[in-house]
Structure 1
Protein backbone atom coordinates (compact mmCIF):
# COMPACT_ATOMS: atom_id res chain seq x y z
CA UNK A 1 0.00 0.00 0.00
CA UNK A 2 1.11 3.55 -0.66
CA UNK A 3 -0.21 7.05 0.06
CA UNK A 4 -2.24 7.14 -3.14
CA UNK A 5 -4.10 3.94 -2.26
CA UNK A 6 -4.42 4.74 1.47
CA UNK A 7 -5.94 8.20 1.02
CA UNK A 8 -9.31 7.08 -0.43
CA UNK A 9 -9.67 4.52 2.37
CA UNK A 10 -9.14 7.21 4.99
CA UNK A 11 -11.56 9.50 3.16
CA UNK A 12 -14.17 6.75 3.14
CA UNK A 13 -13.76 6.07 6.86
CA UNK A 14 -13.85 9.78 7.72
CA UNK A 15 -17.65 9.64 7.55
CA UNK A 16 -19.17 8.75 10.94
CA UNK A 17 -21.90 6.72 9.21
CA UNK A 18 -19.39 4.70 7.19
CA UNK A 19 -17.21 4.15 10.20
CA UNK A 20 -20.25 2.86 12.13
CA UNK A 21 -21.15 0.53 9.25
CA UNK A 22 -17.61 -0.83 9.05
CA UNK A 23 -17.35 -1.36 12.80
CA UNK A 24 -20.73 -3.12 12.87
CA UNK A 25 -19.60 -5.48 10.12
CA UNK A 26 -16.33 -6.17 11.91
CA UNK A 27 -18.39 -7.25 14.93
CA UNK A 28 -20.46 -9.66 12.85
CA UNK A 29 -17.36 -11.39 11.51
CA UNK A 30 -17.43 -13.56 8.40
CA UNK A 31 -21.22 -13.95 8.43
CA UNK A 32 -21.70 -10.24 7.66
CA UNK A 33 -25.14 -8.69 7.35
CA UNK A 34 -27.61 -7.98 4.58
CA UNK A 35 -28.27 -4.31 3.83
CA UNK A 36 -31.62 -4.23 5.64
CA UNK A 37 -30.05 -5.59 8.82
CA UNK A 38 -27.36 -2.91 8.68
CA UNK A 39 -29.94 -0.18 8.19
CA UNK A 40 -32.08 -1.47 11.06
CA UNK A 41 -29.15 -1.84 13.43
CA UNK A 42 -27.89 1.68 12.77
CA UNK A 43 -31.17 3.47 12.03
CA UNK A 44 -30.14 4.50 8.52
CA UNK A 45 -32.69 5.06 5.74
CA UNK A 46 -32.28 2.71 2.75
CA UNK A 47 -31.31 5.42 0.23
CA UNK A 48 -28.71 6.90 2.59
CA UNK A 49 -27.42 3.42 3.46
CA UNK A 50 -27.06 2.49 -0.21
CA UNK A 51 -24.91 5.58 -0.81
CA UNK A 52 -22.56 4.71 2.07
CA UNK A 53 -22.36 0.99 1.26
CA UNK A 54 -21.43 1.83 -2.32
CA UNK A 55 -18.59 4.10 -1.15
CA UNK A 56 -17.25 1.46 1.26
CA UNK A 57 -17.48 -1.25 -1.38
CA UNK A 58 -15.83 0.96 -4.00
CA UNK A 59 -12.85 1.48 -1.66
CA UNK A 60 -12.69 -2.28 -1.00
CA UNK A 61 -13.48 -1.90 2.70
CA UNK A 62 -16.49 -4.16 2.22
CA UNK A 63 -17.09 -7.29 0.20
CA UNK A 64 -20.57 -7.94 -1.12
CA UNK A 65 -22.27 -11.07 -2.46
CA UNK A 66 -25.72 -11.53 -3.92
CA UNK A 67 -27.97 -13.91 -1.96
CA UNK A 68 -31.20 -14.20 -3.87
CA UNK A 69 -32.69 -10.72 -3.80
CA UNK A 70 -30.46 -9.57 -0.93
CA UNK A 71 -26.91 -8.24 -0.81
CA UNK A 72 -24.73 -9.50 2.05
CA UNK A 73 -21.90 -7.24 3.15
CA UNK A 74 -18.76 -8.27 5.01
CA UNK A 75 -15.87 -6.19 6.36
CA UNK A 76 -12.69 -6.66 4.37
CA UNK A 77 -10.26 -6.96 7.26
CA UNK A 78 -7.29 -7.52 4.96
CA UNK A 79 -7.54 -3.97 3.60
CA UNK A 80 -7.50 -2.44 7.07
CA UNK A 81 -4.61 -4.69 8.10
CA UNK A 82 -2.69 -3.42 5.05
CA UNK A 83 -3.56 0.12 6.11
CA UNK A 84 -2.26 -0.50 9.63
CA UNK A 85 0.94 -1.98 8.19
CA UNK A 86 1.32 1.06 5.93
CA UNK A 87 0.92 3.40 8.91
CA UNK A 88 3.38 1.56 11.12
CA UNK A 89 5.94 0.14 8.69
CA UNK A 90 8.48 2.80 9.60
CA UNK A 91 7.83 2.58 13.32
CA UNK A 92 10.82 3.79 15.31
CA UNK A 93 12.79 4.42 12.11
CA UNK A 94 12.97 0.78 11.12
CA UNK A 95 13.79 -0.47 14.62
CA UNK A 96 10.45 -1.93 15.74
CA UNK A 97 11.97 -3.43 18.90
CA UNK A 98 12.00 0.14 20.25
CA UNK A 99 8.25 0.45 19.78
CA UNK A 100 7.34 -2.45 22.08
CA UNK A 101 3.65 -3.22 22.02
CA UNK A 102 2.89 -0.50 19.47
CA UNK A 103 3.94 -2.84 16.67
CA UNK A 104 2.38 -6.05 17.99
CA UNK A 105 -0.26 -7.63 15.73
CA UNK A 106 -3.94 -7.38 16.57
CA UNK A 107 -5.33 -10.44 18.36
CA UNK A 108 -9.01 -10.86 17.45
CA UNK A 109 -9.41 -13.76 19.90
CA UNK A 110 -9.35 -11.38 22.88
CA UNK A 111 -12.89 -10.15 22.19
CA UNK A 112 -14.40 -7.06 20.67
CA UNK A 113 -14.63 -4.72 23.65
CA UNK A 114 -12.46 -2.16 21.87
CA UNK A 115 -14.87 -2.08 18.92
Structure 2
Protein backbone atom coordinates (compact mmCIF):
# COMPACT_ATOMS: atom_id res chain seq x y z
CA UNK A 1 0.00 0.00 0.00
CA UNK A 2 3.00 2.31 0.21
CA UNK A 3 2.68 3.07 -3.49
CA UNK A 4 -0.93 4.29 -3.22
CA UNK A 5 -2.99 6.59 -1.04
CA UNK A 6 -6.50 5.08 -0.98
CA UNK A 7 -8.01 8.06 0.82
CA UNK A 8 -6.75 10.51 -1.80
CA UNK A 9 -7.91 8.22 -4.59
CA UNK A 10 -11.43 7.90 -3.23
CA UNK A 11 -11.60 11.64 -2.53
CA UNK A 12 -10.60 12.36 -6.13
CA UNK A 13 -13.26 9.99 -7.45
CA UNK A 14 -15.98 11.38 -5.18
CA UNK A 15 -16.77 14.19 -7.65
CA UNK A 16 -18.90 13.28 -10.68
CA UNK A 17 -16.83 14.99 -13.39
CA UNK A 18 -13.59 13.43 -12.15
CA UNK A 19 -15.23 10.01 -11.96
CA UNK A 20 -16.40 10.38 -15.57
CA UNK A 21 -12.93 11.51 -16.70
CA UNK A 22 -11.36 8.54 -14.93
CA UNK A 23 -13.76 6.10 -16.57
CA UNK A 24 -13.09 7.65 -20.01
CA UNK A 25 -9.36 7.22 -19.51
CA UNK A 26 -9.80 3.60 -18.48
CA UNK A 27 -11.90 3.02 -21.58
CA UNK A 28 -9.31 4.77 -23.78
CA UNK A 29 -6.70 2.23 -22.72
CA UNK A 30 -3.06 2.61 -23.69
CA UNK A 31 -3.71 5.34 -26.29
CA UNK A 32 -5.05 7.71 -23.62
CA UNK A 33 -6.71 11.01 -24.42
CA UNK A 34 -5.54 14.57 -24.91
CA UNK A 35 -6.83 16.97 -22.27
CA UNK A 36 -8.67 18.98 -24.92
CA UNK A 37 -10.37 15.84 -26.24
CA UNK A 38 -11.66 15.00 -22.79
CA UNK A 39 -13.02 18.50 -22.26
CA UNK A 40 -14.71 18.54 -25.66
CA UNK A 41 -16.28 15.12 -25.18
CA UNK A 42 -17.67 16.13 -21.81
CA UNK A 43 -18.51 19.75 -22.57
CA UNK A 44 -16.26 21.00 -19.77
CA UNK A 45 -14.24 24.23 -20.02
CA UNK A 46 -10.47 23.93 -20.28
CA UNK A 47 -9.65 25.51 -16.91
CA UNK A 48 -12.20 23.31 -15.11
CA UNK A 49 -10.88 20.21 -16.88
CA UNK A 50 -7.29 21.12 -16.00
CA UNK A 51 -8.21 21.41 -12.33
CA UNK A 52 -9.98 18.04 -12.36
CA UNK A 53 -7.09 16.34 -14.18
CA UNK A 54 -4.64 17.78 -11.65
CA UNK A 55 -6.62 16.28 -8.76
CA UNK A 56 -6.72 12.85 -10.44
CA UNK A 57 -3.01 13.12 -11.23
CA UNK A 58 -2.08 14.10 -7.66
CA UNK A 59 -4.14 11.18 -6.33
CA UNK A 60 -2.13 8.82 -8.53
CA UNK A 61 -5.12 7.58 -10.53
CA UNK A 62 -3.86 8.92 -13.85
CA UNK A 63 -0.55 9.80 -15.46
CA UNK A 64 0.36 12.15 -18.28
CA UNK A 65 2.87 12.61 -21.08
CA UNK A 66 3.70 15.83 -22.83
CA UNK A 67 3.40 15.54 -26.60
CA UNK A 68 4.68 18.77 -28.10
CA UNK A 69 2.27 21.47 -26.97
CA UNK A 70 -0.35 18.97 -25.82
CA UNK A 71 -0.65 16.71 -22.80
CA UNK A 72 -2.00 13.17 -23.14
CA UNK A 73 -3.54 11.51 -20.08
CA UNK A 74 -3.76 7.81 -19.27
CA UNK A 75 -5.32 5.73 -16.52
CA UNK A 76 -2.59 4.62 -14.10
CA UNK A 77 -3.34 0.90 -14.34
CA UNK A 78 -0.68 -0.27 -11.85
CA UNK A 79 -2.00 2.12 -9.18
CA UNK A 80 -5.59 1.06 -9.86
CA UNK A 81 -4.56 -2.58 -9.54
CA UNK A 82 -2.77 -1.81 -6.26
CA UNK A 83 -5.90 -0.07 -4.95
CA UNK A 84 -8.12 -3.00 -5.86
CA UNK A 85 -5.67 -5.44 -4.32
CA UNK A 86 -5.60 -3.32 -1.13
CA UNK A 87 -9.40 -3.41 -0.97
CA UNK A 88 -9.54 -7.17 -1.43
CA UNK A 89 -6.61 -8.26 0.76
CA UNK A 90 -8.75 -9.22 3.74
CA UNK A 91 -11.98 -10.06 1.97
CA UNK A 92 -14.31 -13.00 2.30
CA UNK A 93 -14.33 -13.26 6.09
CA UNK A 94 -10.89 -14.80 6.22
CA UNK A 95 -11.56 -17.39 3.52
CA UNK A 96 -8.86 -16.15 1.20
CA UNK A 97 -9.51 -18.98 -1.27
CA UNK A 98 -12.62 -17.11 -2.41
CA UNK A 99 -10.72 -13.94 -3.34
CA UNK A 100 -7.24 -15.24 -4.16
CA UNK A 101 -7.92 -15.71 -7.89
CA UNK A 102 -9.07 -12.09 -8.24
CA UNK A 103 -6.23 -10.71 -6.13
CA UNK A 104 -3.70 -12.78 -8.09
CA UNK A 105 -5.05 -11.54 -11.42
CA UNK A 106 -4.83 -7.94 -10.22
CA UNK A 107 -1.25 -8.51 -9.11
CA UNK A 108 -0.23 -9.89 -12.50
CA UNK A 109 -1.86 -6.98 -14.35
CA UNK A 110 -0.09 -4.50 -12.08
CA UNK A 111 3.31 -6.15 -12.61
CA UNK A 112 2.81 -6.42 -16.37
CA UNK A 113 2.07 -2.68 -16.64
CA UNK A 114 5.10 -1.47 -14.61
> The TM-score by the shorter chain falls in which range?
0.7 to 0.9
CA contact (8 A) 2:88 2:99 kept: no
Provide Cα deviations, 1:79-101, integer angstroms capped at 9, x if missing partner: 11111111110012432224588
CA–CA separation in structure 2 for the residues paired with 1:17 and 1:53: 10
Segments of 5+ residues of structure 2 without an aligned counterpart are 110-114
Change (3 A) 1:89 1:28: same
| Aligned twin of 1:74 | 74
Segments of 5+ residues of structure 1 without an aligned counterpart are 109-115
| Aligned twin of 1:19 | 19
| Aligned twin of 2:112 | none
**What TM-score, normalized to structure 1?**
0.81
Which structure features the higher share of helix residues? 2
Q: Which runs of 4+ in 1 moved over 3 A?
A: 98-106
Matched positions, count: 106
CA contact (8 A) 1:9 1:59 kept: yes
CA contact (8 A) 1:96 1:103 kept: no
Report the RMSD for the aligned CA atoms in angstroms.
2.3
